[in-house]
Chain A
Amino acid sequence: MKSQFDFEPGFEPERYELDAAPAYRFSLGRRGFFKSVGAGIIVALMVERALAQQESGRRRGGGRTPQDIGAWLHIAEDGTITAYTGKVEVGQNIRTSLAQVIAEELRVSVESVRMVMADTKLTPYDAGTFGSRTTPDMARRLRQVAAAARELLIDRAAEEWKVERATLSAENGSIVSKDGKKGSYGELTKGQKLTQAVAENPPTTAPDKWKVAGQSAPKANARAFVNGQHKYTSDMKLPGMLHGKVLRPSSLSATLASVDTKEAEAMPDVVVVRDGEFVAVAAPTEFAASRALKAIKAEWKATDQVSSKEVFDHFKKNARGGEGGRGSTKTGSMEQGLNAADTKLQQQYTVAYIAHAPLEPRAALAHWEGENLKVWTGTQRPFGVRSDLASAFRISEDKVHVIVPDTGSGYGGKHRVEAATEAARLAKAAGKPVKIVWTREEEMTWAYFRPGGLIEVSSGVRKDGSLTAWEFHNYNSGGSAIRPLYDIPNQVIQFHDTNTPLKQGSYRALASTANNFARETHMDELAHELKIDPLEFRLKNLKDARLRAVLEAAAKKFSWGSKPANGRGVGIACGSEKGGYVATAVELTVDRSNGAVKLLRAVTAFECGAILNPDHLKSQVEGCVVMGIGGALTEAIQFENGKILNPRFSRYEVPRFSHVPRLETVLLDRKDLPSAGAGEAPIIAIAPAIGNAIFSACGVRLRSLPMAPDGVKV
């Protein structure tokens, strides 16, 4: 079973923010978190620690260690079902879909499952919510836990009623026998204090038999989001709480030369902390904290920094890796491949650094109770933040409790949350709880960015459209989806590390967006050189059945092949990442006088195995497409000599209502395949599809993201 579900985590060098491994590992006793619940049944799924680490993409860490708890579930005497997972909810609606798979196995409604998530005291260790691993890993584990709990309840009933196990089944929260006996889960667990560990093989329900999973259940707790009652970290408040503000350097990597905090210290109720380079204030209101921060006089020592205008040259000049480097592959001979080609093409592509810009900026509320630190924060890595806190304060991890309220999004941008350490440092000095909410400018300056990248492609193709040679170099942005799924006999694929002027890290789908943009643009260029239809050219070189299926589905829905109306352009692109397969076709118009690109239609076909929740899947796919429009057309972080020039929405254009075309989404439900995640892969086809459509509309080939308006303007 395991081999069927666990695909290779893949080559992901671009998770730079995770490079520093946490200093410590989970030391809380296994029984520690069971103390929080009363009588009833506890079922815990045991996993190998090594497996847990591998799944989460962590690079360092020990070998195989004793078994660890991967997920657990409690059924209380009143029948309440509570499941515990270290995953976080950031808008991808896994709180809902995970409850659905549990409800499915326990034969109850989705509303009767409560999820406790991302609480380092209550939930098992989890390296983080990223890499589209929640659905393939955590949903699978929770299905197994819930199936094991169901089987255990059947055992209990068989024992109590002294009947054959085979005559019993689970229905609507009860165990029933063929002769009409019935006991609710609550009744069967009454007085029990049963803890059962299960291995990974209880009988789970096949997707084609699903009744609760696979359905469009509405977002869990949706009411609290529409009436303003949900408390994000930034909304939280504790008695006596102060608001914190941190003094930021004058430019990136500037160091403190001198600081004078006297004036701020003299302000009433203001706490000032200076600890090495860390200078910060806390006060009863944000207003008073800001005033105190302004009163601090600091001088900074800055060094010259690379600017966005010269960054691509800089990448190339400082490149490392190459042949034999991480992720590089070689098949056949490029020389032979190019000799066999009738047409050769060499091109360069670039992608800008962009910001995640989650609407809720980094936020944390920290509270010390003696030696123990409790922190609420919005992060995708609660256990990682716990490690960071433990190491910052030189305390053991069991003294640190991190809780992640459902968070105002992340997109890969909240793996490290410095606000947590900042708030905790101030709280320690103040002897009171302290909350820090980063400003938009801080979020778009001091967080990390999606890496910029330079990509060089050289290819060869025969007159009949068959690819013979493919050489692909990615400088800086990363190796995700760097290998083509097209069948090309001769290939050289290389990722080159370099040095980055900005702090860079994970972003939704990592570098697959960049690599797919270069690849799918290049494919379109070749198709036009050869005067072959771009869809036909792709299919000619593609055996992968799943990628073919989405390409064909998107093309069909789009009516690909019919001539676009006058002045309109059409483009298509496809790709695969993290177990998801996507194809997008776009129709648009271009106004070359002002550079405006108006998207009219975007048709996306997506397949990620068996669908857990069609409505939420559709919303993830469409969300990816919309976010991808930003990176394709308008988003770029501009920087000059250590200063971010546009760290605010008035100067950094993210997609808005008017940017969104008519979205048509085709979901292919492969109940015969394990479910993969969907929060990332659908973002990778939209940018090349738009670029290819721009070429179709006006004959201008754009090879740099973002493409509008400068790229199209006459």
Chain B
Amino acid sequence: MANVTELRINDAKRQVNAESERSLLSVLRDDLELTGAKYGCGEGRCGACTVLIDGLPTRSCVTSVAKAAAHNITTIESLEREGKLHPLQQAFIETGAMQCGYCTCGMIMSAIALLRKTPRPSEEQIVEAMEGNICRCGIYSRIVAAISKVSKGGAA
């Protein structure tokens, strides 16, 4: 298969030259220096690599770059606009919803997808939607609180 030469990331076209079977995660991180998405498991089971593809939360570690080409990819790096954090990012800080922070970007991307689909999720809906994201430090209850905080403000 031919190499992938272009990706649509955060509303911009980015030139790459990547073997088609490479993971989207490795291309984002190693070729484009978008390192907010993290490697955690390589099998789509921890959510640290979550990005949005056409608005849907996607595990970029198990998504080939070929499959992602021609779709709209959104990464954590797009959320802060003109020095202003997204309300969900702000809520993570305010509720102290991180310890080591390694899962945080993936958590935020999964939560953004949830809030776009369900602007006012119940606690059960939050837990269900976030179940695929692991926080090994165990800060789960504060992440739920951060998401609830934004949904109540209706700002996502």
Contact = CB atoms under 8 A, between A and B. Distances in A.
Given A216-B96, A285-B30, A358-B102, 11 more contacts: A223-B89, A226-B108, A359-B40, A619-B142, A622-B138, A623-B137, A623-B138, A650-B43, A656-B134, A657-B126, A663-B141
Nearest to B35: A235
Interface string B80-110: 1000010001101110101111111100100
Contact of A623 (B40, B99, B128, B144): B99
Contacts of B150: none
Given A619-B139, A622-B139, A648-B43, A409 B85 contact: no
A187 interface: no
Contacts of A658: 127-128, 131
Nearest to B101: A225
Interface residues of B, number: 58
A92 interface: yes
A649 B41 contact: yes
A619 B93 contact: no
A635 to B, nearest CB: 11
B134 A359 contact: yes
Interface stretch (A70-78, A455-463, A624-632): A624-632
B105 to A, nearest CB: 5
A441 B85 CA distance: 35
Contacts of A409: 99-100, 102, 136-137
Contacts of A663: 141
Interface string B23-64: 000100110011111111111011010000000000000000
B7 interface: no
Contact of A359 (B22, B100, B130): B100
A237 interface: yes
Contact of A649 (B92, B104, B134): B134
A225 B90 CA distance: 11
Contact of B134 (A287, A437, A654): A654
Nearest to B77: A228
Contacts of A423: none
Contacts of B108: 226
A489 interface: no
Contacts of A648: 41, 43, 45
Interface of A: 90-93, 216, 218-219, 222-223, 225-232, 234-235, 237, 243, 285-287, 357-361, 406-409, 411, 437, 439-441, 615-616, 619-620, 622-627, 648-650, 654-658, 660, 663
Given A222-B93, A226-B108, A359-B100, A285 B136 contact: no
Nearest to A411: B136
A616 B139 CA distance: 11
10 contacts: A227-B36, A228-B36, A228-B37, A234-B38, A358-B102, A360-B100, A440-B43, A619-B99, A619-B142, A626-B140
Interface string B6-24: 0000000000000101100
A93 B38 contact: no
B98 A222 contact: yes
Contacts of A223: 85, 89, 93
B79 interface: yes
B41 A92 contact: no
B48 A359 contact: yes
A230 B101 contact: yes
A91 B76 contact: no
Interface hub of A93, A622, A657, A658 (most chain B Cβ within 10 A): A657
A663 B96 CA distance: 15
B74 interface: no
A195 B38 CA distance: 43
A102 B43 CA distance: 43
B102 A243 contact: no
B126 to A, nearest CB: 8
A226 B42 contact: no
A232 B102 contact: yes
B148 interface: no
Contacts of B89: 223, 226-227
A440 B21 CA distance: 20
Contact of B138 (A227, A616, A624): A624
Contacts of A660: 138, 140-141
A437 B39 contact: yes
